[in-house]
Amino acid sequence: SPSRPYEFIEASEPKPGVAQITLSRPKALNALSTPLITELNDALLAFDKSPNTSAIILTGSQKAFAAGADIKEMSTLTFSEAYTTSFIESWSSLTTLIKKPIIAAVSGHALGGGCELALMCDILYCTSSANFGQPEIKLGTIPGAGGSQRLTRAIGKARAMDLILTGKSFSGTQAGEWGVAAKVFGSYEDLMEGALGTAETIAGYSKVAVMGAKEVVNKSQDLGIRDGVEYERRVFHGIFGSEDQKIGMKAFAEKKKAEWTHK
């Protein structure tokens, strides 16, 4: 589990098997500065490695999930600096390195990089009044952490183009209707309870199956249907090599509760 003290995030373990990372930079509405992203990656990697963690909740405050990349940090950045330091590249750690499911619980603003961060997660829950958007155009720039790609896949080109070219926001209710959010809640308390309940459900299953399921669903975003189905079948075959597949099916036949070994 994460060991060092953090300045811009809080890391906790609210239930057995469930980790929570709370973005906590209230003075800047959780603007995603490089130091914040460094801490986020550090905590995510620690929970991903921890044998005690099965699912991770990523949230902000009631007022803001995250109001974007840190505009003050970026304002003087030059092309050479951005290019030579691979600015933003480390943001992708969340999608490339973390094998355990991440549930985004979004309340308040999720703008620019904040919207992109939520879209990188595996399950997105939000409040009906959440405020999503890619307002980069208003700052003379464009989405830079996958927004043009992930939002477009999630809601289609027509809506994504409309939003990204105008900088208009969309509500949590719309996110639910458009399929960006899997569930929409009436209040912040219900949102957090819902996210925790889902994380606990996931933590009640075999880690081998959970991580395999996450991997194959995410592959559907990169592969064509033929390669995707083949990839799924390879992983499915592989899971017959786990102890937990034997345990789960034996427990079903014996009408008992499965006691997973996570092996």
E strand segments, the chain: 9-15, 17-23, 53-59, 64-66, 102-106, 109-111, 123-127, 131-133, 169-171, 183-185
Site size toward ligand CO8 (CB under 6 A) is: 21
Based on the residue annotation, tell me whether 172 is a catalytic residue of this protein: no
Residues 27-86 that bind ligand CO8 (CB under 6 A): 28-29, 31-32, 67-72
Residue 202: φ, ψ to 5°: -65, -40
194 contributes a contact to ligand CO8 by CB under 6 A:
no
216 contributes a contact to ligand CO8 by CB under 6 A:
no
Strand order in the sheet with 9-15: 9-15, 17-23, 53-59, 102-106, 123-127, 183-185
Residue 89: φ, ψ to 5°: -60, -35
Based on the residue annotation, tell me whether 243 is a catalytic residue of this protein: no
Rule CB under 6 A: choose which of 137, 139, 182, 235 binds ligand CO8: 139
248 contributes a contact to ligand CO8 by CB under 6 A:
no
- Minimum Å gap between C-beta 11 and ligand CO8 is 21
Nearest CA among 25, 102, 11, 57 for reference residue 193: 57
Residues 147-186 that bind ligand CO8 (CB under 6 A): none
195 contributes a contact to ligand CO8 by CB under 6 A:
no
Can you tell me the distance from the alpha carbon of 100 to that of 239, in angstroms, rounded to the nearest whole number? 16
Angle between helices 207-219 and 243-253 (to 10 degrees): 110
Rule CB under 6 A: choose which of 145, 180, 191, 202 binds ligand CO8: 145
Of the pair 65, 260, the CB lying nearest ligand CO8 is at: 65
118 contributes a contact to ligand CO8 by CB under 6 A:
no
Residues with a known catalytic role: 69, 113, 116, 136
Residues engaged in binding ligand CO8 (CB under 6 A): 28-29, 31-32, 67-72, 88, 109, 111-113, 135-136, 139, 143-145
